[in-house]
């Protein structure tokens, strides 16, 4: 399985392709590949969003690039040997998140499950890469983790059917919808939107990878596990989602256009619990990877 990431070295960003244990500088490898496969000569991109828009973010093309490198013994030349800094794998125009999309999670917070999706916005200032620090705000009494399957949009999507929505997915990632729970409860009790509880800086770790949808055989049956300091806090499976990815995208697209690179956070299973400064949070989804972040004081 091949996975895409964004990383930087001395403030210069690159697109990477993880192939087993080898990180390949995909930015450089693509330049070599198009010299061989001239039909892709006009496919230029500097970011993952541009890569998606160019139609290059497919399992078939990524596999073709890897095969080309292997057959021409070029892997070692593009294998990244320098120390890297993980960046958010994609920079979306917006992030939308589902509430109460798992029955058990809805009930653990004293709510009843809902059939019609409830969604809200995570603003882009919340996005945090793999290995970045989750900042615990001074004005907050309780901060919770929420592991979720992140769905990355591949095509402009408006008023789509579930079938159309499914075909418009680029791939999947891991997100951790960090929540200031005391603020959320206060806002709900006052019949206010829970915008502030969800949108502190660093409140959406994402990554480390995006896996093209071709490589995810059944996104409706993936194990999710989140641990804090090695202790399992959340363990669930996407098969228990009330609304699946295609249904979520279709629903949201009735109200707004989704653009390539946009992220949909599909809801969290039961087991949400408080974090504290110093905690190491590891969020893993089967076949996608593990997103690791530490909590620090503001």
Tell me the pLDDT tens digit for each residue of 188-208: 888 888 899 999 999 999 999
Give the pLDDT confidence score for residue 113 in this predicted structure. 67
Nearest to 207 by CA among 117, 28, 84: 84
Element (H, E) at 223: strand 223-228
Nearest to 122 by CA among 266, 273, 227: 266
Q: pLDDT > 70: what percent of the chain?
A: 98
Topology of the domain covering 90-297? Fumarylacetoacetate hydrolase; domain 2 (3.90.850)
Domain limits, CATH 3.90.850.10, in the chain: 90-297
Beta strand ranges found along 28-128 (DSSP E): 85-87, 95-99, 118-122, 127-128
Give the pLDDT confidence score for residue 189 in this predicted structure. 87
Does the CA dihedral 174-180-182-187 come out positive or negative? negative
Query: CB of 205 within 8 A of CB of 293?
Result: yes
Query: CB of 61 within 8 A of CB of 117?
Result: no
Asked whether residue 209 carries a pLDDT value surpassing 90, the answer given is yes
**pTM given for the model:** 0.96
Write the DSSP symbol of residue 82.
Answer: S
Q: What confidence tens digit (pLDDT) does each residue in 222-260 have?
A: 999 999 999 999 999 999 999 999 999 999 999 999 999
Average pLDDT in the chain: 95
């Amino acid at each position: 399985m091949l996975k895409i990431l964004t990383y930087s070295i001395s403030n210069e960003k690159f697109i990477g392709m993880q192939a087993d244990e080898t990180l390949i500088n995909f930015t450089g490898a693509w330049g070599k590949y198009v010299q061989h496969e001239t039909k892709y000569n006009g496919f230029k991109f500097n970011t993952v969003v541009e890569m998606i828009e160019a139609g290059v973010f497919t399992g078939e093309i990524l596999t073709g690039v890897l095969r080309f490198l292997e057959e021409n013994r070029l892997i070692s030349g593009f294998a990244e040997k320098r120390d890297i800094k993980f960046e958010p794998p994609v920079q979306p125009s917006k992030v939308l998140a589902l509430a109460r999309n798992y029955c058990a999670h809805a009930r653990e917070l004293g709510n009843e499950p809902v059939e019609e999706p409830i969604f809200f916005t995570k603003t882009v200032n919340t996005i945090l890469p793999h290995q970045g620090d989750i900042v615990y705000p001074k004005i907050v009494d309780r901060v919770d983790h929420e592991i979720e399957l992140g769905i990355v949009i591949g095509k402009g999507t408006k008023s789509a059917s579930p079938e159309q929505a499914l075909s418009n997915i680029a791939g999947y990632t891991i997100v951790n919808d960090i929540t200031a729970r005391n603020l959320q409860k206060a806002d709900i009790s006052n019949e206010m939107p829970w915008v502030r509880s969800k949108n502190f800086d660093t409140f959406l770790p994402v990554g480390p990878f995006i896996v093209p949808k071709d490589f995810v055989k059944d996104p409706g049956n993936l194990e999710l596990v989140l641990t804090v300091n090695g202790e399992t806090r959340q363990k669930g499976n996407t098969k228990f989602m009330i609304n699946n990815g295609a249904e979520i995208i279709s629903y949201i697209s009735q109200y707004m256009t989704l653009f390539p690179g946009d992220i949909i956070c599909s809801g969290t299973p039961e087991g949400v619990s408080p974090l504290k400064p110093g905690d190491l949070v590891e969020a893993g989804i089967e076949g996608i990877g593990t997103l690791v972040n530490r909590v620090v004081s503001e």
